[in-house]
Amino acid sequence: MNEINLLGMLAGTLTTVAFVPQVVKIWQTKSASDISFGMFLIFNLGLVLWLLYGIAIHSTPIIIANAITLVLTGIILVLKIRYK
């Protein structure tokens, strides 16, 4: 793996892992009242576009980071609806 892809993987890992504490907090407290549904919905749409872009240019770091982040933020949206 070259340095550019390594940089992309590190950046993707950090921005993806940043959502884990939020998912855990919502799961533990059973509350997502402070989460903006609209923001996460728009963010998820952006992630879908980034994922499609990564697939189009065959960029593994973009594909992996955005796919995992999409799952995590999707969980947040589902929990937001569930614990309304």
pLDDT digits (tens, 9 = 90+) for 38-70: 999 999 999 999 999 999 999 999 999 999 999
Percent of the chain at pLDDT above 70?
A: 100
* Tokens of residue 3, six digits: 């340095």
Is-above-0.85 flag for pTM?
A: yes
CATH T-level fold of 36-84: Monooxygenase (1.20.1280)
